[in-house]
Structure 1
């Protein structure tokens, strides 16, 4: 970590602590807690709370006459702190926010489809991972049934390792610019799945892991612990896919705006009207459209989803942001991952 990053990390830690004290102060008033109870809940000393109240002119207790004004004061400061933290992180990472990793696309969408490759049936899939640098996330509704789905756009890749015939092991990939899922599948992956790790710094379930780049600004003890968890569960067992993703992001010809968005669609709505386990594009793309293991087909059907989300005129603007993410990942994020996990990413 550079000196500048250390300074920003220290400032963020100070702001996080102030936010925690503010939230504790609000709980102190709302729940009529004692200072001892507050210390036990937050881990912040009674002396610090009293000094904070005194320095910021918070009363010992609130009544009906000043309660709302005090709560507004607390919330306004929390909002300001959160905005300042965002600016500090953006000063280091720019458009980079997090790395989204799905260890098995088939497992997450509950599919057993192996598919075909070079006109041959795929015998077995060993790994089918998705790596994504998210940019935009939003909920839409299927036009016919009204069922909700969740779209995440970003810079990404679908990577698969599989067997063709006896002993013929093949790897291949497709660049993608997002994923779209029925909302129930997304919630299952995020909220209902077994939690491998859940902390204030990152979240890892059996189906999906979000690794914020701001981890590089976390305190060293936190980083050391999370490095071990991420290394064991992600970077080491899925090294091949990360190596390919690094190469893809360095390729000057990758993620060509002229080809439009390419969204990996998973799962079906109740009436099977949603595009299940397909690559959706804005236009026919020739070689990109050839079959790949684990995916049923590639269809130029993406415009319908973009229209439903009122994004049909925003494809160019979305791609401008994706290009920025690609540049910043190549210049900043890639090096962070290499430094953070030496020996696991080339």
Structure 2
């Protein structure tokens, strides 16, 4: 890199921008580059790979290979996946930085809107969500609309990921940037789909491979030194430490996760800057949103995805995995049956260390609770209600009852729905289960997938689902 370019990009300003920044599926954004490995085993299916950032500092830097867009703050990679052996795993990594090459940034910034189409600084698309932490400059009606959309489309379906992140933030030894250095999830051309960590970190566990990520390597300190001056790196670390103090100190309601934003906004105010889309551009450029304030000068340009990083579909990636025949037989015969009917769960009450992942196939004891009132007038609300019941950890007979009532209410709204028979089958299955037992993690993942497919089916059949 030439000295003039080094000097130029080291002068790129850091911008304070407190935001919630979420990529619901990392692998989908990158075109499913890898399934990854875990504990020396092949991964066969990725169920969740969400990136959540409570961002505080951003910067866009011109490099020899293109523009690199950087976001620093408290980040979290949360993934749920299935091993080739059939076991289900939950894994996570703390993050402190997100490095987006210009073509990845533009792919996110041009993704299709789901809602909030007329709001330039609150963005909700198929690939990314960006919301200012402080919404006090919005009208009350706009705040109510944003709150409802985020609760239904983000906080409820990804409730477990947000709660796990908040629990991690509140631990004393996490996000200790001063001692452990930074953890950077990167799509930089030389470090594509890798996490860069510092040699200062006690990285024995962190560096283990996980789903969707090509590699986890040492090199964060050297890379940041090449991008920023010493004073800027110190400022970035100070901001991350401040965010750790703020987010670890707030209280929030796990049943109402929007309270994270509400309670944090008392300490992290908005910059007040709103980016307006310029008029008179081509239709393609009109689709681009400005995710970062520092990227405003790139609003009129779009970098196409390079052939060097070939994109695949999820089916193409997963088709490369050969599943064990024994697992295939189990899945075919027990697609919607409790894992308790497949495995002798009682035999694993005191598992050996190597069997710890079987916890994902066990039910836990939960108190029986009355179901909340189920909606009756909207297909949208009924399906979202079912999703919330699954996420709220009701026992299996209650889930069966919720499915049964939902099916009856749906019949009053539509003469025929493709998933009605499937819903009946699941209702009958779970109503027969013993009370006070929750879904296992595996069952929960699969049932949520079915509900998401019903919502997608409703879209496909032109049933209008407003946010």
1:276 CA drift (Å): 1.1
Q: In the alignment, does 2:219 pair up with 1:298?
A: no
- Tell me which residue corresponds to 2:297: none
- Tell me which residue corresponds to 1:223: 143
Matches of 2:219 and 2:76, distance apart in 1: 19
Matches of 2:242 and 2:143, distance apart in 1: 27
Q: In the alignment, does 2:67 pair up with 1:162?
A: no
Cα 1:323/1:254, change in 2 over 3 Å = same
Matches of 1:306 and 1:119, distance apart in 2: 31
Matches of 2:45 and 2:195, distance apart in 1: 20
Aligned partner (choices 91, 96, 111) of residue 32 of structure 2 = 111
Looking at secondary structure, tell me which structure has more helix per residue: 1
Cα 1:325/1:194, change in 2 over 3 Å = same
- Tell me which residue corresponds to 1:194: 112
Could you state the TM-score of these two structures normalised by the residue count of structure 1? Answer: 0.64
Given that 2:47 and 2:80 are in contact with CA atoms closer than 8 Å, whether structure 1 keeps it comes out as yes
- Tell me which residue corresponds to 1:54: none
Aligned partner (choices 141, 152, 174) of residue 254 of structure 1 = 174
RMSD of aligned Cα (Å) = 2.8
- Tell me which residue corresponds to 1:151: 70
- Tell me which residue corresponds to 1:126: 47
Matches of 2:113 and 2:258, distance apart in 1: 26
Given that 2:36 and 2:211 are in contact with CA atoms closer than 8 Å, whether structure 1 keeps it comes out as yes
The Cα offsets for residues 1-49 of structure 1, whole Å up to 9 and x where unpaired, read as xxxxxxxxxxxxxxxxxxxxxxxxxxxxxxxxxxxxxxxxxxxxxxxxx
Cα 1:137/1:341, change in 2 over 3 Å = closer
Give 3-state SS (helix, strand or coil) of 1:214's partner. Answer: coil
Given that 2:155 and 2:258 are in contact with CA atoms closer than 8 Å, whether structure 1 keeps it comes out as no
- Tell me which residue corresponds to 1:207: 127
Given that 1:195 and 1:205 are in contact with CA atoms closer than 8 Å, whether structure 2 keeps it comes out as yes
Aligned partner (choices 194, 204, 217) of residue 278 of structure 1 = 194
Given that 1:157 and 1:175 are in contact with CA atoms closer than 8 Å, whether structure 2 keeps it comes out as yes
Aligned partner (choices 90, 95, 107) of residue 176 of structure 1 = 95
Cα 1:152/1:345, change in 2 over 3 Å = farther
Matches of 1:117 and 1:196, distance apart in 2: 33
Cα 1:99/1:340, change in 2 over 3 Å = closer
1:294 CA drift (Å): 1.2
Given that 1:163 and 1:170 are in contact with CA atoms closer than 8 Å, whether structure 2 keeps it comes out as yes
- Tell me which residue corresponds to 1:323: 241
Matches of 2:102 and 2:111, distance apart in 1: 14
The Cα offsets for residues 188-247 of structure 1, whole Å up to 9 and x where unpaired, read as 202x11011231561111111112122256443223222221122211111111111110
Matches of 1:314 and 1:282, distance apart in 2: 17
Matches of 2:104 and 2:136, distance apart in 1: 30
The Cα offsets for residues 132-159 of structure 1, whole Å up to 9 and x where unpaired, read as 11122122344xx432221111111111
Give 3-state SS (helix, strand or coil) of 1:110's partner. Answer: coil
Given that 2:37 and 2:210 are in contact with CA atoms closer than 8 Å, whether structure 1 keeps it comes out as yes
In structure 2, stretches of 5+ residues that fail to align are: 1-15, 263-387, 394-467
1:253 CA drift (Å): 0.8
**When the two structures are aligned, how many residues end up with a matched partner?**
244
Give 3-state SS (helix, strand or coil) of 1:152's partner. Answer: strand
Give 3-state SS (helix, strand or coil) of 1:289's partner. Answer: coil
Given that 1:289 and 1:298 are in contact with CA atoms closer than 8 Å, whether structure 2 keeps it comes out as yes
Could you state the TM-score of these two structures normalised by the residue count of structure 2? Answer: 0.48
Larger deviation, residues 166-175 vs 315-324: 315-324
Cα 1:334/1:308, change in 2 over 3 Å = farther
Given that 1:96 and 1:333 are in contact with CA atoms closer than 8 Å, whether structure 2 keeps it comes out as no
Cα 1:216/1:246, change in 2 over 3 Å = farther
- Tell me which residue corresponds to 1:97: 18
Given that 1:306 and 1:312 are in contact with CA atoms closer than 8 Å, whether structure 2 keeps it comes out as no
The Cα offsets for residues 144-199 of structure 1, whole Å up to 9 and x where unpaired, read as x4322211111111110100135421111000001112112112202x11011231
In structure 1, stretches of 5+ residues that fail to align are: 1-94
Give 3-state SS (helix, strand or coil) of 2:135's partner. Answer: helix
Counterparts of 1:69-80 in structure 2, within 5 Å, are none
Matches of 1:340 and 1:309, distance apart in 2: 32
Matches of 2:191 and 2:34, distance apart in 1: 14
